[in-house]
Structure 1
Amino acid sequence: MTTDKDEVGQGSEIAEVFLYGVMKNHYKALPVVPKIFYKQNVQDNAKGADSVHIVINEAEDDFSLWFGEAKFYNSIADARLDAVVSSVYASLDTGKLRKENAIITNVSDLDQLILAAPLREKIKAALSSQVSIDHLKPKIHVPILIIHQCADTAACAELSDEYRAQISAHHTSRAESYFSKQLAGSSKVNSP
């Protein structure tokens, strides 16, 4: 069993690495602050978002900002989903967004990744502490990756149609539950 030693598995390195891979390979995202690489020891959980990526839209000479949350749980029951919803809303707090933006603009990763100087300056200007977070919010995406120990998968001996249907129904139910909880808690996100 590969899980973290903390009680709920938050900040699990395996989930963070997987999210990093999804963002980099599927979305072609630039890892502006690959927090998994900034950890100083194995007990150190990422502070703030578990991943920070920028996706470039070359056709529009624009970008989107991705603050990822990654969790590794032994269960994805509703009680665990509450913790994920709380974590996502906490990460959207104006003060936390400003701190993330300060980290992005103060490390050299951004200068090394984005070659076009005008776009790099546009990104830095949008992330500036002098600019209202309201202008940045439409560009923010929060990918949520939850890896869990699945009893159905552990009991499965082959990739049958029955297993696929069972897993699909289970995860559809979990996703619906998560989004219901997210909508119910949406008033928790503060405005600047």
Structure 2
Amino acid sequence: MTTISPVFESDLILDEYIAETHFRGFSVGYEDSEYRYDALVELIFSALTDFSLTEKEKSNINPFNAQRKLKKAAKVIYATEKYSRRGEFGEILLHIIMRDYFNSIPAISKMYYKDGANETVKGFDAVHVVPIGKELELWLGEVKFYNNMAKAIRDVLPELQAHTNKDYLRSEFLFISNKVDDTWEHAENFLKLIDGRISMDKIFSKIRIPVLLTYDSKVVNSYRDACEDYKKELINELHKHHDTFRGNDLPKNVEIILILLPIEQKAKLVQNLHDKLRIWQQI
């Protein structure tokens, strides 16, 4: 269910065409017969500090250090011209959707723990929690920021199997537990949730895995406005990809939520994002 007050107000940019318990489908649509690249770029950059900085750093942002914090948030994304296949912007998109549509709260900023400016961070692409009463659900996100749906599904499947392995999760939880900001309000309960002494059976029951897949869409490329025919064809396309995804051998011990975001041209979106990132890195 969509939160009443989305953190990033992404509902102003993203049209949610499918809103099922384990399946969400979005589109950004068009403006003046053009795909809304600028709107999507602005949405992604609105989440940059929330995605990149630690809880302590975010709580200390003020009018005097805001520019410096923004610059740091931009610099930890990457600092390379070999950016076409990097997935950080896809991770920010997942971060936004998890926050705005599933009411999640980030547990750690994995960008902050890179070993180098252009290193990629291993493990899950998002580590969030969703408070349910006095308990916490653990939301571990996966992203394939691709232009081809078949390849996105092909590449995410082995990661889902590997990342839901008991031994892998134990190792990942150990890494995560050492990175939790002790000023975070959920730190104590979160650390109890992933404590190595707890049975994995209990932990598995509280794990949700949102999987965001992007792709260059034939339907999006065939229209210039979000007319009724567009909506009908896009929904059909989204359901087709969902059926293909679910037709594979998926982990049975956790809940998986598929999130699809069709794009006109992922390459053009990435170029626009890169150009804006370079500007932010120099402010």
- Structure 1-normalised TM-score? 0.79
Q: What per-residue deviation string (whole Å, max 9, x for no partner) do you get for residues 45-68 of structure 1? A: 3311000001112xx310100110
Partner of residue 145 from structure 1, selected from 212, 233, 249: 212
Q: Is residue 75 of structure 1 aligned with residue 148 of structure 2? A: yes
User: Does structure 2 retain, via aligned residues, the 8 Å contact 1:30–1:54?
Assistant: yes
User: Does structure 1 retain, via aligned residues, the 8 Å contact 2:140–2:210?
Assistant: yes
Q: For residue 108 of structure 1, report the CA deviation from its aligned partner.
A: 3.4
2:113 is aligned to 38
1:47 is aligned to 122
Query: What letter is aligned with 1:48?
Result: G
Q: Secondary structure of 2:149's match?
A: coil
Partner of residue 95 from structure 1, selected from 167, 170, 181: 167
Moved more, 95-104 or 85-94: 95-104
Query: Separation in 2 of the partners of 1:40 and 1:156?
Result: 43
Query: What letter is aligned with 1:113?
Result: W
Query: Separation in 2 of the partners of 1:156 and 1:40?
Result: 43
Q: Which runs of 5+ in 2 are unaligned?
A: 1-36, 42-81, 255-283
Q: What per-residue deviation string (whole Å, max 9, x for no partner) do you get for residues 111-157 of structure 1? A: 22226xxxx43432231122222220000000001112223212321
1:174 is aligned to 241
Query: Separation in 1 of the partners of 2:175 and 2:116?
Result: 20
Q: Which runs of 5+ in 1 are unaligned?
A: none
Query: Separation in 2 of the partners of 1:139 and 1:122?
Result: 13
Query: Separation in 2 of the partners of 1:113 and 1:187?
Result: 32
Q: For residue 36 of structure 1, report the CA deviation from its aligned partner.
A: 3.6
- Structure 2-normalised TM-score? 0.55
Q: For residue 185 of structure 1, report the CA deviation from its aligned partner.
A: 4.6
Residues paired across the two proteins, number: 175
1:105 is aligned to 177
Query: Separation in 2 of the partners of 1:63 and 1:4?
Result: 35
Q: Is residue 15 of structure 1 aligned with residue 58 of structure 2? A: no
Change (3 A) 1:14 1:152: same
Q: For residue 100 of structure 1, report the CA deviation from its aligned partner.
A: 2.2
Instruction: Give RMSD over aligned pairs.
Output: 2.7
Query: Separation in 2 of the partners of 1:18 and 1:113?
Result: 23
Q: Secondary structure of 1:143's match?
A: strand
Query: Separation in 2 of the partners of 1:80 and 1:173?
Result: 14
Query: Separation in 1 of the partners of 2:205 and 2:166?
Result: 14
Q: For residue 42 of structure 1, report the CA deviation from its aligned partner.
A: 6.0
Q: Is residue 62 of structure 1 aligned with residue 135 of structure 2? A: yes
What percentage of aligned pairs have identical amino acids? Answer: 23
Query: Separation in 1 of the partners of 2:115 and 2:216?
Result: 27
User: Does structure 2 retain, via aligned residues, the 8 Å contact 1:67–1:142?
Assistant: yes
